[in-house]
Structure 1
Amino acid sequence: MKKLNTSALLALSGAALSDLVPKAPKFIINDEQMEADVLVKSLSYDQVTHMFEGCDAEKITVADVVKKRVLLTVFNAETKEPLFPDLEAVGQTHPAIINALHDASDEVNDFLGKNKLKLKNMNSGASSSSAELVAKPLNKPKRK
């Protein structure tokens, strides 16, 4: 694990937030596998936590969350402009494409907390071997 001093930590954060990360999300439409080149923006903590500021929290759906994340993070690889102009345009896109774009965005922004779980498992000291968790089978009595 790489250890950072305070200056390196802040520099890393600034660089990570300013870079657009190339991604190639894969999806299937009509039984044909496809891939697209996009860029994904890392969002700051405030951008993530204030994403739905001013919205009625009781009316926000999972679909609203996915569309907003894609709108704010996915960029055209050629122009470096946002891929979609607004939420309505995101919503008019094929679900397989939106799911693939959201997965690419999650790889960069870790919205679902996968990296936190990885760190927790690495720091837990517990064995990662599933074989050690399996109980030893009981001996069966021999038939006479």
Structure 2
Amino acid sequence: MAKFTLEAALKAVGVGSFAQKTIKFRDASGEEFKGELLIKIISHDDVVNATDIFKLKNKQDITLDQLRKALVFQTVYEDEEKRFFPKISDIGSISTEILNAMYDAADEVIDFSGKNWISAKTKKDGASSSSTESAEEQLPKLSEE
């Protein structure tokens, strides 16, 4: 086994590299639309400081909407040289469905809160078997008198 170093960690997670993702949403006629985009893999500090773009005096004032927009702005690219949104204010011009699809794609690549890997591992290991039990098995049987 190789020695684990900061350089090895950065290389392993791919900070600064891009992952291609497909997003899906409904177009104006209600049909499914698919599009390819790039997600830039950013560091923990970039995730934590993404909302600095709003220049708020108090970080506790940040809304969930601003957090999601900041993370999409930082991570979603048309190509490796061009962000999808030229300005943070451009994000509000798309539908909520597209914004959510972009955020989900970025979260899948970067795993902003660390939940995706843990959740997938739990499901794979079968640790959450109670959710697969039927309702009948979970409810106690009533005795007839």
TM-score of the superposed pair, with normalisation by structure 1: 0.75
Unaligned runs of 5+ in 1: none
Distance 2:44 2:2 in 1: 19
Give the drift of 1:28.
1.1
The structure with more radius of gyration: 1
Q: Which residue does 1:14 correspond to in 2?
A: 11
Distance 2:126 2:35 in 1: 39
Q: Does 1:141 align with 2:144?
A: yes
Structure 2: distance between partners of 1:69 and 1:120: 25
Q: What is the CA–CA distance in structure 2 between the aligned matches of 1:68 and 1:106, rounded to whole Å?
A: 13
**Of 63, 80, 84, which aligns to 2:65?**
63
Q: 1:135 to 1:62 in 2, by over 3 A?
A: closer
Structure 2 SS opposite 1:24: strand
Per the alignment, residue 94 of structure 1 pairs with 95
Give 1:72's aligned residue: 74
Alpha-carbon separation, structure 2, partners of 1:135 and 1:38: 44
CA distance in 2, matches of 1:114, 1:29: 30
- The 8 Å contact of residues 73 and 105 in structure 1, kept in 2 or not, is answered as yes
Q: Per-residue displacement from partner, 1:23-46 (whole Å, max 9, x unpaired)?
A: 011111331110111000111011
Q: Could you tell me how far apart the structure 1 residues matched to 2:41 and 2:107 are?
A: 10
Match of 2:22 in 1: 24
Q: Structure 1 46/112 Cα, relative in aligned 2: closer, same or farther at 3 Å?
A: closer
Cα 1:127/1:89, change in 2 over 3 Å: closer
- Tell me how far 1:119 sits from its aligned partner: 6.7
Q: Residue 17 of structure 1: SS of its match in structure 2?
A: coil
CA RMSD after TM alignment = 3.3
Q: 1:136 to 1:108 in 2, by over 3 A?
A: same
Question: TM-score, normalized by length of structure 2?
Answer: 0.74
Code of the aligned partner of 2:94 = T
Q: CA deviation at 1:127?
A: 5.6
Match for residue 51 of structure 1? 50
The percentage of counterpart residues that share the same residue type is: 30
